[in-house]
Chain A
Amino acid sequence: MSTKTDKIDRLAELTASTETSTGASLWVEAWRRLKGSKMAVIGACIIGAFVVVAIVGPWVAPYSPTAQLWRGEVFTNQNIFVGPRAENWLGLDHLARDEFSRMLVGARQTLLVGIVATLLGFTIGALIGGASGAALVLGGKVGRRIDTVVMRVIDIMLALPSLLLAVSIAAVLGQSLTTVMIAVGVVQIPVFARLLRGAMLAQGGSDYVLAARALGVRKRRIALGHVLPNSLSPVIVQATLSLATAIIEAAALSYLGLGNPDAAEPEWGVMLAQAQDYFDSAPMLAIYPALGIIVTALGFTLLGEAMREALDPKLRS
């Protein structure tokens, strides 16, 4: 008798412990696949390290980024640059400031520019693209007309070379970090708008939309409840990739002298621009910020690519 109940209990235990699958959504599955992707893990590690540095950088920096560490010995001869040494891990820059501290503090500015610019481009672009796509899905003459007008404006924005657009925005708004953010963000708007609209347009013709229509689901509900959620994944991937380009573009604008003029707030792009004057005698001063920019951009690109793969419905099993 007891073996029989034992048997039953054991079976119940085992069946209870087998994982019952409750709604693994697209996102849950994508997350699971992301965790398994080497590319994503490396990208995430780089980004994580970068974010940590950006947050705690100013506190852990051994010196103030503006402190000039004159020691008398520095300007005694032709070789004015001090290379890496125990007190200054990356040496001193042309004004004898600690390069390591400046790198740490500069990370924050760089991250800020990247995130704010991308958020700006993403939000406005997605709103425009979403409105346009929704108008198309809702159909009718009015919808098509709205879409045509919006898309022609976007076309005009796309026709301007991005750097030129950014330079002109910077020229109008003056030289500051905000300008760089706005300039880089505005350049991203048409990319997001086109992407979301295109995805919505493609989803609008899919079978489930027809099936939903066949059951009388309202157009607004179809546009927002069915088409939009299906169209978001390419846009989110693009946002991750855009963070990389935003950082590079912000650095480019700073390099061109449109960035923050305040020397008290170091920024990798500005540092790179200043280092080029001394490239002959101290190439490392250019290489540090450049490396920082490249590695960070690489991190975002890796994660973005991995997300693209994880979210691709064709690869889903």
Chain B
Amino acid sequence: MALLSVDELTVTFTQRGRRDVKAVSGVSFDVDQGQVVGLVGESGCGKSVTSLALMGLLPSRGVKVGGRADFDGTDLLTLSGRRMRDLRGSQLAMIFQDPLSSLNPVVPIGVQVTEILTRHRRLKGEAARKEAASLLDRVGIPDPDRRLKEYPHQLSGGMRQRALIAMAVACAPRLLIADEPTTALDVTIQAQILELLKELVDQEGTALLMITHDLGVVAGLCDQVNVLYAGKVVESAARRELFEAPTHPYANGLLGSIPRLDAPRGEPLRPVRGSINDTIAWEDGCAFAPRCDHYTLECLQGTPVLGEPRKPGHQVRCVNPVLSGGAAELRRSVLPEPDEVPGADAAADGTGPEGDGPVEKADPAEKDAVETAGTAEKEAGA
């Protein structure tokens, strides 16, 4: 039994006099204890709305939430506001995109951290302060006693995100939702923050739901990846499986759009054409069809269902999946070297180095490739 089991989650925004907007239409996925699950997609595909719905943070007016989200046996979507508030921060916690605006500018860091400890762990006074200092220390903030007295604008971007992570893990939550935690940070800091998150997951067995549009982040961190498009999961697979054999044309296009360091100079980028606005209703067919190179008449006859055309456990919502693994070599440049990722060795064996490909060289530039992947994907999504 998974720790969090989301089943057919739908979120509809209603506005009088306007057509309802379905931001999330039937998303299902599981998150196990100690697992990192990625939710990937371009802007507007429903990633953040999914996370806010799980946290019960969507506005109460003008929003309809359907489906189930079982967290340890209780449905998060039907919990009362009071129970949900008790759960948030203690069992569930969330990290946001912009660390500066997520911290209160006029309140010292220390107060903001101890506030959580007081709220959920009933720590007060000196005990709370000590615990707050040790939390900051744990997330790698040097001189925590001094930092506790400082205000958010006195901390660097990376330190702010660390402070927010400290607040999120203050009560050892069982599920951590990270909504693009590295988007507002520069590349070196991004790597540090991801490292920190990985460490916390490994040490505490916390489940992590990683929401991102950065394929580099996914490649470095996630165990299981769900690719979202227009409010539906279009592909769900283990990380290596997805990067080796992206089967949905959208996932395939996303990975194909990543620039390669070894590509000849001047070669144009290959974005997924069109934008997320070029879409059709899922009821009528595949929402990706207007941007797809492979679509047929069949794609326009009702919602495609999730199938497993390639491997069991690798789910794809497509009528005409990309089954030839021709672009596998390209994908390899995106994944980190096997030794960088614990547990990736086994998967890497099957695709071992062919020897002569320039991609396979243990080039220090490899790491950059992972990082540029994110930027490229952003451009492709824009």
A: which residues have CB within 8 A of B? 20-26, 139, 206-208, 210-218, 221, 225-226, 229-230, 313, 316
Q: In the complex the two chains form, is B153's CB within 8 Å of A216's CB?
A: no
Contact of A215 among B101, B116, B146, B153 (CB under 8 A): B116
Q: Report B174 CB to chain A, min CB distance, Å.
A: 14
Cα of A40 to Cα of B99 in the assembled complex, Å: 33
Residues on A with C-beta less than 8 A from B105 are 26, 208, 230, 313
Contact of A226 among B93, B96, B107, B108 (CB under 8 A): B107
Q: In the complex the two chains form, is B102's CB within 8 Å of A215's CB?
A: no
Residues on A with C-beta less than 8 A from B149 are 22-23
Whether B137 is near chain A, meaning CB under 8 Å from some CB there, is: no
Q: 25 A-B residue contacts at CB 8 Å?
A: A22-B146, A23-B150, A24-B150, A25-B108, A139-B60, A206-B101, A207-B96, A208-B103, A208-B104, A211-B164, A212-B104, A212-B112, A214-B89, A214-B93, A215-B88, A215-B94, A215-B119, A216-B87, A216-B88, A216-B90, A217-B89, A218-B119, A221-B119, A229-B106, A230-B105
Cα of A212 to Cα of B93 in the assembled complex, Å: 10
- Report the contact-size class of chain B (Cβ under 8 Å from the partner): 35 or more
Closest to A221 in B: B115
Contact of B106 among A25, A215, A217 (CB under 8 A): A25
Residues on A with C-beta less than 8 A from B108 are 23, 25
Whether B382 is near chain A, meaning CB under 8 Å from some CB there, is: no
Q: In the complex the two chains form, is A26's CB within 8 Å of B106's CB?
A: yes
Q: In the complex the two chains form, is A214's CB within 8 Å of B94's CB?
A: yes
A-B contacts counted at CB < 8 A amount to 89
Q: In the complex the two chains form, is A22's CB within 8 Å of B150's CB?
A: yes
Cα of A5 to Cα of B105 in the assembled complex, Å: 43
Closest to A226 in B: B104
Cα of A32 to Cα of B107 in the assembled complex, Å: 18
Cα of A23 to Cα of B101 in the assembled complex, Å: 18
Given contacts A22-B150, A24-B151, A206-B101, contact A213 B107 (CB under 8 A): no
Cα of A192 to Cα of B89 in the assembled complex, Å: 35
Interface string of B119-132 (1 = CB under 8 A from A): 11000000000000
Which residues of B (69-107) have their CB < 8 Å from a CB of A?
85-90, 93-94, 96, 98, 101-107
Q: In the complex the two chains form, is A216's CB within 8 Å of B119's CB?
A: yes
Q: In the complex the two chains form, is B104's CB within 8 Å of A230's CB?
A: yes
Whether B31 is near chain A, meaning CB under 8 Å from some CB there, is: no
Q: Report B244 CB to chain A, min CB distance, Å.
A: 35
Most chain-B CB neighbours within 10 Å: which of A23, A211, A215, A230? Answer: A215
Residues on A with C-beta less than 8 A from B112 are 212
Closest to A214 in B: B94
Cα of A316 to Cα of B104 in the assembled complex, Å: 15
Residues on B with C-beta less than 8 A from A22 are 146, 149-150
Q: In the complex the two chains form, is A230's CB within 8 Å of B106's CB?
A: yes
Interface string of B56-70 (1 = CB under 8 A from A): 010010000000000
Q: In the complex the two chains form, is B116's CB within 8 Å of A217's CB?
A: yes
Q: In the complex the two chains form, is A217's CB within 8 Å of B119's CB?
A: yes
Q: In the complex the two chains form, is A316's CB within 8 Å of B153's CB?
A: yes
Which residues of B (249-277) have their CB < 8 Å from a CB of A?
none
Q: In the complex the two chains form, is A216's CB within 8 Å of B85's CB?
A: yes
Whether B11 is near chain A, meaning CB under 8 Å from some CB there, is: no
Whether B168 is near chain A, meaning CB under 8 Å from some CB there, is: yes
Residues on B with C-beta less than 8 A from A229 are 104, 106-107
Residues on B with C-beta less than 8 A from A25 are 106, 108, 151
Closest to B85 in A: A216
Q: In the complex the two chains form, is B55's CB within 8 Å of A214's CB?
A: yes
17 further A-B pairs in the complex, CB-CB below 8 A; given A207-B102, A226-B104: A21-B150, A23-B149, A23-B151, A25-B106, A25-B108, A26-B105, A26-B151, A212-B104, A212-B115, A213-B57, A215-B88, A216-B85, A216-B88, A217-B116, A218-B119, A221-B115, A226-B107
Q: In the complex the two chains form, is A20's CB within 8 Å of B151's CB?
A: no
Q: Report B47 CB to chain A, min CB distance, Å.
A: 16
Cα of A218 to Cα of B118 in the assembled complex, Å: 11
Whether B234 is near chain A, meaning CB under 8 Å from some CB there, is: no
Whether B154 is near chain A, meaning CB under 8 Å from some CB there, is: yes
Q: In the complex the two chains form, is B120's CB within 8 Å of A216's CB?
A: yes
Cα of A211 to Cα of B109 in the assembled complex, Å: 14
Residues on B with C-beta less than 8 A from A230 are 104-106
Residues on A with C-beta less than 8 A from B201 are none
Residues on A with C-beta less than 8 A from B57 are 210, 213-214
Whether B245 is near chain A, meaning CB under 8 Å from some CB there, is: no
Cα of A229 to Cα of B151 in the assembled complex, Å: 14
Whether B167 is near chain A, meaning CB under 8 Å from some CB there, is: yes
Q: In the complex the two chains form, is A207's CB within 8 Å of B89's CB?
A: no
Residues on B with C-beta less than 8 A from A221 are 115, 119
Which residues of B (137-177) have their CB < 8 Å from a CB of A?
146, 149-151, 153-154, 164, 167-168, 170
Cα of A25 to Cα of B112 in the assembled complex, Å: 14
Closest to A209 in B: B104
Residues on B with C-beta less than 8 A from A210 are 57, 96, 102
Residues on A with C-beta less than 8 A from B96 are 207, 210-211, 214
Q: In the complex the two chains form, is A24's CB within 8 Å of B164's CB?
A: no
Q: In the complex the two chains form, is B60's CB within 8 Å of A215's CB?
A: no
Q: Report A149 CB to chain B, min CB distance, Å.
A: 19
Q: Report A170 CB to chain B, min CB distance, Å.
A: 40
Cα of A22 to Cα of B86 in the assembled complex, Å: 33
Cα of A210 to Cα of B116 in the assembled complex, Å: 14
